[in-house]
Amino acid sequence: MLELAVLGLLHESPLHGYELRQRLKATLGSFRAFSYGSLYPSLRRMKDAGWIAEDEGDAEVVAGAPPLTGKRGKVVYKLTAEGKERFTELLAEAGPSSWEDEQFGVHFAFFSKTEPEVRVRILEGRRARLEQRREGVRSSLARTRERLDSYTLQLQEHGLESVDREVRWLSELIETERRNVPPR
Amino acid sequence: MLELAVLGLLHESPLHGYELRQRLKATLGSFRAFSYGSLYPSLRRMKDAGWIAEDEGDAEVVAGAPPLTGKRGKVVYKLTAEGKERFTELLAEAGPSSWEDEQFGVHFAFFSKTEPEVRVRILEGRRARLEQRREGVRSSLARTRERLDSYTLQLQEHGLESVDREVRWLSELIETERRNVPPR
DNA sequence: TTCGTCATGTAATGGGTTACATGATTAC
DNA sequence: GTAATCATGTAACCCATTACATGACGAA
């Protein structure tokens, strides 16, 4: 999850940890936020795995002074060739977990780097998942409506409307995708 | 979280684990689902803590046959006096975490058992949280709109609309609460 | 008799958060 | 010079999930 997001952002340009987190917030918006406590260890692991590497030879070295002192400044990471491969791989292997709430947003955020067929698969998977959830809530609501107090009821209905809204959104997106890439 | 939900459900009537999970789904709707892998250990802990207890003397003992065999059937739990206290306590101590996505739904689901002032506090806290999030997204969007690809942009905007919708919903709820319990 | 679903549980694992510690750099 | 924020990191913990194991019970 975090891994995919980091690879995706570094795919655009090298960044250091702190910056990465800002971009993460900006890219994922209201869907997800990560803390440094998960980001830095993750960067470490990804570096050990060889997917990212420290980016020297940066515009950072201007006066020569900072690098001369043993001080540790920003650590800028860039994607390695293996990292790019890994990213592509992660994007391609979109399975059932890709349409869960937390994952979907991250996948979607990198749709412009995703194969058109995979995009449609994810959008449809997500929609099916939501429709199934909606049916579950609806039928349970039909069975127990009278027994629920007004607050629980409001919660259910607001939830249902939210799901409906997202389904409609997804349907529009799917249609647009289809127009651009007609099914073979 | 799970704890609060379980206490809340058992507050209405004794239930066994399996049933509890169904009710959890029905009550929380699309907001949250729990697996048995977290439910059963949680029940165990709550029993050890003395908040819930096995409910014997149930309608279950009809023919006398099942209890005579050493077989272990359903384990029905009921709330103890301490459990009721704990529940009230949890409902009252509604702090900043109560307005986070995951917690809010659970709190809201038991609003009918919550003090009116606490209800308003939670609703307003949640609204403020969402408004703050919305401003964050908005300003970041204003700054970086041109640099974002169309997918990321759509994600942001859909997110923004969802937040807007929930804010409006909350505002209506708050107004209703206020009409019923005018501020002293 | 076998299939579905009811029912209870455990072990391993996952994927994060909070709180803390530290220090550099920038703006006032 | 001092406050804010930029910047990196660790340790302890939390709260759940997945996968697995087991078995009763009712309906076809």
Enumerate residues 6+ apart whose C-beta is below 8 A from A6.
A20, A24, A39, A42, A43, A46, A52
CB contact under 8 A, B29 and A150: no
| Domain end position, chosen among A92, A111, A129 | A92
Handedness of CA B25, B28, B33, B38 (dihedral sign): negative
- pLDDT of res. A30: 82
Task: Indicate if A110 and A73 belong to the same structural domain.
Answer: no
| Domain end position, chosen among B32, B63, B92 | B92
Tens digits of residue pLDDT in A130-155: 998 999 889 888 888 888 899 999 99
Chain A nearest-CA distance from B30, in A, is 6
Task: Indicate if A22 and A78 belong to the same structural domain.
Answer: yes
| A30 neighbourhood in chain B, CB within 8 Å | 133-134, 137, 159-160, 162-163
Tokens found for residue B86: 């704990």
E strand intervals along A61-169: 76-79
The β-bridge partners of A77 are A15, A54
Q: What percent of chain A has pLDDT over 90?
A: 68
Task: Indicate if B125 and B176 belong to the same structural domain.
Answer: yes
Task: Indicate if A149 and A86 belong to the same structural domain.
Answer: no
CB contact under 8 A, B150 and A112: yes
The gap from C-alpha A76 to its chain's centroid, in whole angstroms, comes to 21
Tally of structural domains, chain B: 2
Chain B, 40-59: which CBs lie within 7 Å of strand C? 40-41, 43-44
Instruction: Report the alpha-carbon distance of residue B25 to residue B12 in Å, rounded.
Output: 16
On strand C, nucleotides with any atom < 7 Å from a protein CB are 6-12, 15-20, 24-25
Task: Indicate if A142 and A160 belong to the same structural domain.
Answer: yes
pLDDT class for A73, splitting at 50, 70, 90?
A: confident
Task: Indicate if B34 and B71 belong to the same structural domain.
Answer: yes
Instruction: Kindly report the CATH number assigned to the domain that includes residue A32.
Output: 1.10.10.10
Name residue, tokens 């046959």: B65
Instruction: Report the alpha-carbon distance of residue B95 to residue B39 in Å, rounded.
Output: 24
Query: What's the mean pLDDT when you consider all of chain A?
Result: 88
- pLDDT of res. A56: 76
pLDDT above 90: residue A87 = yes
Task: Indicate if B6 and B87 belong to the same structural domain.
Answer: yes
- pLDDT of res. B65: 40
- pLDDT of res. B180: 85
Task: Indicate if A81 and A135 belong to the same structural domain.
Answer: no
Q: What is the model's pTM?
A: 0.89
- pLDDT of res. A29: 86
Backbone angles phi, psi at A76, to 5 degrees: -90, 130
Full residue range of the structural domain in which residue B139 is found: 101-180
Task: Indicate if A152 and A109 belong to the same structural domain.
Answer: yes
Which residues of chain B fall short of a pLDDT of 50?
58-70
| Domain end position, chosen among A92, A124, A149 | A92
Task: Indicate if A113 and A167 belong to the same structural domain.
Answer: yes
Task: Indicate if B46 and B119 belong to the same structural domain.
Answer: no
Name residue, tokens 């995919």: A4
Round to a whole number and report the distance in Å from the CA of B40 to the C1' of D25: 21
Cα end-to-end distance, chain B, whole Å: 31
**Total Cβ atoms within 10 A of residue A75:** 13
- pLDDT of res. B67: 44
pLDDT above 70: residue A62 = no
Cα end-to-end distance, chain A, whole Å: 31
Instruction: Report the alpha-carbon distance of residue B106 to residue B113 in Å, rounded.
Output: 12
Task: Indicate if A34 and A61 belong to the same structural domain.
Answer: yes
CB contact under 8 A, A165 and B163: no
